[in-house]
Amino acid sequence: MAHLRFHLRFPEDKIKQPVLCQINRTFPKVDTNIRRADVREKTGWMDVEFSGDPAEIERAIEGIRQKGVIVDPIELNVVE
């Protein structure tokens, strides 16, 4: 079981969409745990821990990306 942490960023037009809920339904073997978030009218982000099989987490992350949400490592930019 892997525990991977990501920063999810919701573009303004995606803020109202239940993205994480849909991902949970599609990938029931991946647990999502929101640890910090800030969702407002013009911005929305979440720091989320994904637990499960690494390959399944990878697929879940890809699924989130396909819904238009931007997924970054929890550290944001690590390339300086």
Partner 1 sequence: MTKPALKGTDKIKGLVCRECGKEYPAVSLHVCDMCFGPLEVQYNYKTIKPRLTRKAIEAGPKSLWRYVDLLPIAGDPTVGLAAGFTPLVRAKNLGDELGLDKLYIKNDTVNHPTLSFKDRVVSVALTRARELGYDTVACASTGNLANSVAAHAAAAKMQCYVFIPHDLEASKVLGNLVYRPNVVEVEGNYDDVNRLCSEIAGEHKWAFVNVNIRPYYAEGSKTLAYEVVEQLGWDAPDHIVVPMASGSLLTKIWKGLNEFSKLGLIDRMATKVDGAQAEGCSPIAAAYKLGRDFFKPVKPATIAKSLAIGNPADGYYALKATAESGGAMDTVTDEEIIEGMTLLAQTEGIFAETAGGVTIGVLKKLVKQGLIKRTETTVALITGNGLKTQEAVMNAVGRPTRISPSLVDFQKTFGLGIHER
Binding site for partner 1 (CB under 8 A): 4-5, 9, 35-36, 38, 40, 43, 47, 49, 70, 72-80
Nearer to partner 1, 4 or 17 (CB): 4
Nearer to partner 1, 13 or 80 (CB): 80
Nearer to partner 1, 28 or 68 (CB): 68
The two tokens of residue 49 are: 């821990």
State the Cα–Cα distance between residues 62 and 17, nearest whole angstrom: 17
Q: Residue 26, SS3?
A: helix
The two tokens of residue 65 are: 């990306």
